[in-house]
């Protein structure tokens, strides 16, 4: 993401549930204003004008500008439960499957068949957004030492990686690999018919080549393949090489990639979402971090 900070951050761990696999998402930033409330027409995204159920109203600070999003909680395809403080702010959340949607899950998931699609989880991007990471350098709260960061030893489902989509697709039994897996062994992708990229903003040249040469990629998030990094597996670190205004402010996409679609990353409502074709697959024209919770057609588009 170019020069922006999302204040609401959800860390996550995977937990086991008796009937389903659930995802626990604890403790967002206290400075966000996410609340559960009764629905009001003035707040609802335009595609939900006839919706009268409960909503989640989330407000983000993006480059000093407040951005809002409405989640129609009663229309969600998944069981989303929230822990709240006394002011209604969300402290934690868990996401599970709903038994009433079992038939739909079987249509869009891989419960009774072998997965022919694989997600590439952006572990390098998770590292870049971490404490004392690239964004501390961008915002001038840290010097160039913050352009070399440790690769996390666990998957943390944050907004900046496309964590919500990963949570949903993980529940639907999609296979996944990480940036590390692809960088070390690009041939790992060949066993699948389809590769799904999340917000893989920071990648190595080797991973970039592997993804852009693969014949059937779904770029589910804009701003993927944006900045070039190197990786050192001796000390498990990544370092920024080029992109995102580095080493010169004029440098945007570090690979000079002609299909860069970063202009769409600020469209967080996805009201008029669509996939459009590129040479090796298709790209989404919005950031579907919340839309993935309740839009059947979006999930169906991933298997079409």
pLDDT single digits (tens) 79-133 = 987 777 776 666 667 889 999 999 999 999 999 999 999 999 999 999 999 999 9
Domain boundaries, given as residue ranges, for the chain: 13-106, 117-301
**φ, ψ of residue 99 in degrees (nearest 5):** -55, -35
User: Is 80:23 a contact under the CB 8 Å cutoff?
Assistant: no
Full strand arrangement of the beta sheet holding 148-150? 148-150, 237-242, 227-232, 202-203
Report helix, strand or coil for 118: strand
Length reported for the chain: 304
> Distances from the Cα of 214 to the Cαs of 3, 119, 192, 260, 299, in angstroms?
29, 13, 10, 16, 22
Q: How far apart are CA 2 and CA 202, in angstroms?
A: 12
Q: What is the pLDDT of residue 292?
A: 93
pLDDT for res 53 = 80
**For residue 111, what are its two tokens?**
């419960």
- For the chain, list residues with pLDDT below 50: 2-44, 63
- Helix segments in 162-264, DSSP class H: 163-171, 179-184, 205-213
Sheet holding 275-278, edge to edge: 175-178, 117-121, 194-197, 217-219, 281-284, 275-278
CA distance 121 to 302: 16
Query: At a CB cut-off of 8 Å and minimum separation 6, what does 265 contact?
Result: 1, 2, 221, 222, 223, 287
């Amino acid at each position: 993401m170019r020069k922006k900070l999302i204040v609401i951050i959800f860390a996550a761990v995977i937990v086991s549930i008796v009937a389903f696999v659930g995802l626990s998402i604890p403790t967002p930033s206290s400075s966000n204003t996410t609340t559960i409330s009764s629905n009001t027409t003035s707040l609802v995204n335009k595609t939900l004008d006839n919706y009268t159920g409960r909503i989640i109203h989330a407000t983000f600070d993006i480059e000093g500008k407040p951005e809002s999003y409405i989640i129609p909680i009663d229309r969600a395809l998944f069981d989303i439960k929230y822990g709240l403080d006394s002011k209604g702010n969300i402290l934690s959340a868990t996401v599970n499957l709903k038994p009433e949607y079992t038939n739909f899950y079987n249509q869009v998931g891989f419960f009774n068949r072998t997965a022919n699609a694989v997600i590439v989880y952006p572990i390098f991007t998770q590292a870049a957004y971490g404490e004392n990471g690239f964004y501390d350098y961008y915002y001038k709260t840290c010097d160039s030492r913050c352009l070399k960061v440790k690769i996390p030893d666990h998957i943390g489902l944050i907004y900046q990686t496309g964590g919500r989509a990963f949570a949903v697709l993980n529940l639907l039994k999609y296979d996944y690999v990480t940036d590390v897996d692809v960088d070390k062994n690009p041939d790992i992708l060949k066993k699948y018919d389809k590769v799904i990229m999340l917000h893989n903003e920071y990648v190595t040249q080797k991973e970039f080549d592997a993804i852009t040469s693969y014949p059937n990629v779904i770029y589910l998030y804009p701003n993927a393949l944006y900045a070039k990094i190197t990786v050192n597996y001796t000390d498990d670190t990544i370092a920024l090489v080029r992109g995102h205004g580095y080493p010169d402010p004029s440098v945007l996409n570090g690979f000079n990639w002609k299909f860069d679609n970063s202009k769409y990353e600020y469209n967080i409502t996805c009201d008029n979402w669509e996939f459009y074709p590129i040479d090796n697959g298709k790209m989404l024209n919005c950031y579907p971090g919340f839309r993935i919770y309740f839009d059947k057609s979006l999930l169906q588009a991933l298997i079409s």
